[in-house]
Chain A
Amino acid sequence: MSKKILIADDEQNIVISVEFLMKREGYDVSVAADGEEALARIRADKPDLVLLDVMMPKKNGFDVCQEVRADAALAGVRILMLTARGREMEVAKGIALGADGYMTKPFSTKELVDKVRDLLV
């Protein structure tokens, strides 16, 4: 059974490219365009991994991450944060909130694929 991945990002073109990459790797992909939708889908689908953008409408990635980690039922969900704001403080904040990994945009597609594979082992 293939792993389930949720892509949460408000940039349509980025979603298209990441969705293409993940499907090519054989994962089961779903998409959310803002923070609230992302949280709802995580609760409904319980994906193995969330590729979580930080700057999203309605609820930002940090808040989503925090709520997922506060929910014991979602303990198995891995979170890889993706952000265009590449400052160290934000990386530290993401890790502190319980993200499993962090990548800054623009990323190398190969590195993203490798990182996702590592996290799903």
Chain B
Amino acid sequence: MLQGSVVIAVSFLYLALLFAVAYWGDKRADAGRSIIANPTIYALSMAVYCTTWTYYGSVGRAAVTGVGFLPIYLGPTLVMTLGGFLLLKMIRTAKANRITSIADFIASRYGKSQLLGGLVTIIAVVGIVPYISLQLKAVAISYDLIAGYPALVSPAGGHGPILADTTLYIALILAAFTILFGTRHLDATERHEGMVAAVALESVVKLVAFGAVGLFVTFGLYNGVGDIFERAMADPQLAQLTAVASGSRGYATWFSLTLLAGLAILFLPRQFQVTVVENVSEAHLKRAIWLFPLYLFLINLFVLPIALGGLMHFSGQGMNADTFVLTLPMSGHHEALALLVFVGGLSAATGMVIVETIALSTMVCNDLVMPLLLRTKRLALNAERDLSGLLLSIRRGAIVLILLLGYLYFRLAGDAYALVGIGLISFSAVAQFAPAMIGGMYWRGGTRNGALAGLLAGFVVWAYTLLLPSFSKSGWLPASFLSEGPFGIELLKPHQLFGLTGLDDISHCLFWSFAANIGAYVVVSLLRAPTAAEASQATQFVDALKTTRPVGSALWRGSADAADLVALVGRFLGPARAQTAFASYARRHGLADVEKLEADADLVHYAESLLAGAIGSASARAMVASVAKEEPLSLPEVMNILDEASQLRTYSRELERKSRELEAATGELKAANVRLLEVDRLKDDFMASVSHELRTPLTSIRAFSEILRDDPRTALPERERFLGIIVSETERLTRLVNQILDMAKIESGNAEWLVEEVDMNAVVEQSVATTSQLFRDKGVALSLDLAGSVPLIRADRDRLMQVVINLLSNAVKFVPANAGRVMVRLTADTESLRVSVTDNGPGIRREDQKVIFDRFRQGGDAMTSKPTGTGLGLPISLKIVEYFGGRLWVESEPGQGASFIFSLPLNNPENGKRE
């Protein structure tokens, strides 16, 4: 069943199925019910990364280098899992600017430069052509193999006449299908839903087919993975393959390949197409960043078993390891499996070719051909002509041309390299986009000239160190070019440039091309400041994740005619689509129909973005400029507008910050309120206490006054006694009022302090003299223990006397009459003076020792009679001592008397510390 005709029939059936899926996908998209608005399909479409290079080539590479095939998948896995932010930025930027390809992306970033777009396109085409030729080669080899069944021969090298070459026909068939897939529509838009659906299906098919071979080899030919490895280990040559390459050269290779593959997953035109351009929703990234690496893991699972199994199975037969996937089932006469494998390989090839060629044809059309055509005045000025058909024709032509170039490379160089070798040449070319892309997304300073210089330098080095050698190896250039350098100049040997040895070809190219690329990009960019156009685009790209609204229209000033714009867009999108687009724009702006549209900056911007989707941003800008008269903005004006945009962002951030501050302030206010309530309560307590203290003497005064008034016949001794009480209560009241006022003045900071040099000995002596009468009256002994002489201190003499007198009168109040003893002692050390007043009274309970310094909190609860006094003496004394930086405290054991002690610092600042 494996005759050529059957294989061909199955192949066409398969392609027809793909086409049906694509057709269905497009229909659903037109109906507004997208089938690719699904994260799984998105992730599967990314697997277009796995081409025949993976399908056949991984086994080939594993047969030579063992696990050396892994970096090609390690790089993308790392980028997907760690570089999600980069992808997100690319996607958002591309959507905001209606980017159609990677060439468009770079051109748009550096001021919508047509020159730059053209250069990127040329690099991409030249770089990718070998890769496409690789697909053609793989399909051709696999067809020749399967068509030769049951014989098992590696196809001989060399080519027959062109017209008898299977590969040519494969190229033409693929071109036809690509045209069907990608340019079937008359409207040239940047998105291809049907194609994405078909590619996702292909990803499933190739995974299933590869998995089937893997299972067949592992469990059909051998007894599981363990069996294969066990047998391989027995052979020292094969055992080597399971070890990671050692030595610095090995690590350098691993590093370069991982880096190259990581950049390829971002910048290969087909990856940019499916990942960025065809992306339906940013949210799909979330699943893709783990599902796609999982896909890579699964498709690599059986690579090493198949490689080892094949090497052992075909031991000594010289079978090309690139073909193991197909030849192993064939050798076991599993025809159905072999056919499935062939279809899987075809799947891998067609998926890559279709997406890559569509992406490249879009670039060739938008960034190379259109800019050139639009320069010919005849075409540009002929406004009557509908160019949408022309666009499609250009793309179709580009598709055929690219595939024929691929075929040409296959004829010229295809035999010199194994599959993996060819793929890496393309990866290295695509990696040249990295500095301009990544730099453009994160560095505002990058300029058009810098990007041009970098890309050109990197591309030239790549061509010299990888592309030309591939021709040389194929015999199209003399072999001495490689071995001795051009014209015998050793330093210019392509694989040991400037004497750099010790690296494999790919690492060597990567080193020199990146050095040239990055160096030129940075140095040339720094030579001059960005222009207005570059600065405005730089801001949109660098701030893509911050911008809340596009600033595009804000950056345009000039005059235009709405009808001209509609006509212009109609020329490229077709009049009907243009009408629909402008009508919906009019509706969004509350206008009845297209005629009412005003050609303001917004409309011009809208027209440009419509055009950009069809012909790329650089051409779109040029076309809009042909009908709209733009007054160019100067750099300062652009910077102003961008400033406004960034001010808006700043403003919103400011708002967020303010709102956070407000929350914090609210919290503080609440706390302050709690404190205020507490203060209020304390103040309330204080007022209640003051009220109580004032009312108590007033009660006696009023009562006795009324008694005396109401009854004039009161006996004389009683009358004298009552009048005595009235007088003493009045004195008490006076003292109280004075002390309350004193306290209030000290607390509010309004007290007057007369600060001078004070001799503490004199203060104590005068205080004792003042209170001596109290002691004599009660029969209390007072002793003095003064230090001979103490340093003077700066303080208020009267205030200090007030403190000592207060302590003395408290002491005399509490000691027993006639048996009481009070001692005053003054001591000094280097830092402070200390005065203590010690009595032999009842002492103060520990729990009262703090309380007595509070206002109106007198000691003496334990006594039957209430002590006389205001309850303010100690609090005021405390305030005075603290004012001069000192301390006042009590030491007492109940029943053992009490000592009130205060100390004052000698080096006290003049005014002490205020509360």
Q: Which A residues fall within an 8 A CB radius of B?
A: 10-14, 16-18, 20-21, 24, 33-34, 55, 57-58, 84-87, 104-110
Contacts and interface: CB of A to CB of B under 8 A. Distances in A.
A55 B696 CA distance: 11
Interface in B695-725: 695-704, 706-707, 710-711, 718, 722, 725
Q: What does DSSP make chain B's interface, helix, strand, loop or mixed? A: helix
Contact of A34 (B697, B725, B864): B864
A85 B704 contact: no
A84 B696 contact: yes
Contacts of A104: 695
Contacts of A57: 860-861, 863, 866
A87 B703 contact: no
B688 interface: yes
B759 interface: no
- Counting chain A CB atoms within 10 Å of each CB, the highest count among B697, B699, B710, B860 belongs to B699
B700 A84 contact: no
A85 B688 CA distance: 6
B691 A16 contact: no
Contacts of B718: 20
A17 B710 CA distance: 13
Nearest to B732: A13
B355 to A, nearest CB: 86
Given A14-B700, A85-B688, A105 B695 contact: yes
B707 A87 contact: no
Contacts of A17: 699-700, 703-704, 707, 722, 725
B710 to A, nearest CB: 7
Contacts of B688: 85, 87
Nearest to A33: B864
Contacts of B860: 57
Chain B, interface size category, equals 20 to 34
A57 B858 CA distance: 11
Given A21-B707, A86-B695, A106 B702 contact: yes
Interface in B571-606: none
Nearest to B693: A84
The 7 lowest CB-CB distance pairs between A and B, nearest first, are A17-B703, A84-B695, A13-B700, A105-B699, A106-B699, A106-B702, A84-B692
A121 to B, nearest CB: 22
Given A17-B725, A21-B703, A106-B702, 19 more contacts: A10-B865, A10-B866, A11-B866, A12-B865, A13-B700, A18-B703, A34-B864, A57-B866, A84-B691, A84-B692, A84-B695, A84-B696, A84-B699, A86-B691, A104-B695, A106-B701, A107-B702, A109-B706, A110-B706
B729 interface: yes
Interface of B: 688, 691-693, 695-704, 706-707, 710-711, 718, 722, 725, 728-729, 860-861, 863-866
A11 B710 contact: no
20 contacts: A11-B699, A11-B700, A11-B866, A12-B866, A13-B725, A16-B700, A17-B722, A21-B707, A24-B711, A55-B692, A57-B866, A84-B696, A85-B691, A86-B691, A104-B695, A105-B695, A106-B703, A108-B706, A109-B702, A110-B706
B692 A107 contact: no
A20 B703 CA distance: 10
Contacts of A33: 864-865
A105 to B, nearest CB: 4
Which of A12, A84, A108, A110 has the largest count of B CB atoms less than 10 A from its CB?
Answer: A84
Nearest to B729: A13
Contacts of A58: 861
B732 to A, nearest CB: 9
Contacts of B711: 24
A85 B692 CA distance: 5
Given A11-B699, A106-B702, A20 B707 contact: yes
A106 to B, nearest CB: 4
A21 B704 CA distance: 10
Contacts of A84: 691-693, 695-696, 699
Given A84-B695, A85-B688, A105-B696, A14 B703 contact: yes
Contacts of B722: 17
A72 B544 CA distance: 86
Contact of B725 (A16, A55, A87, A106): A16
B433 to A, nearest CB: 83
Given A10-B866, A11-B866, A17-B703, A106 B698 contact: yes
Contacts of A21: 703, 707
Given A17-B703, A18-B703, A105 B865 contact: no
B689 to A, nearest CB: 9
A105 B703 CA distance: 10
B698 to A, nearest CB: 4
Contacts of A106: 695, 698-699, 701-703
Contacts of B701: 106
A104 B695 CA distance: 9
Contacts of B729: 13
A58 B700 CA distance: 23
Nearest to B858: A57
Contacts of A109: 702-703, 706-707, 710
A42 B915 CA distance: 49
Contacts of A85: 688, 691-692
A57 B707 CA distance: 28
B700 to A, nearest CB: 4
B59 to A, nearest CB: 94
A87 B693 CA distance: 14
A101 to B, nearest CB: 17
A8 to B, nearest CB: 13
Nearest to A112: B703
Contacts of A86: 691, 695
B699 A107 contact: yes
Nearest to B705: A109
A85 B861 CA distance: 19
A16 B729 CA distance: 13
B118 to A, nearest CB: 91
A14 B691 CA distance: 16
Contacts of B692: 55, 84-85
A88 B861 CA distance: 27
B865 to A, nearest CB: 7
Nearest to B724: A13
Contacts of A18: 703
A66 B703 CA distance: 28
B864 A105 contact: no
A16 B861 CA distance: 21
B829 to A, nearest CB: 41
A101 B338 CA distance: 113
Contacts of B698: 105-106
B862 to A, nearest CB: 8
Contacts of B864: 33-34
B226 to A, nearest CB: 90
Given A109-B706, A109-B710, A14 B861 contact: no
A51 to B, nearest CB: 12
A86 B693 CA distance: 12
Contacts of A11: 696, 699-700, 866
Point out which of B700, B722, B861 has the most chain A C-beta atoms below 10 A from its C-beta.
B700
Contacts of B696: 11, 14, 84, 105
A14 B710 contact: no
B672 to A, nearest CB: 26
A106 B697 CA distance: 8
Nearest to B703: A17
Contacts of B697: 13
B215 to A, nearest CB: 90
Nearest to B695: A84
Nearest to B706: A109
Contacts of B695: 84, 86, 104-106
A12 B865 CA distance: 8
Contacts of A34: 864
Contacts of B699: 11, 14, 17, 84, 105-107
A85 B698 CA distance: 13
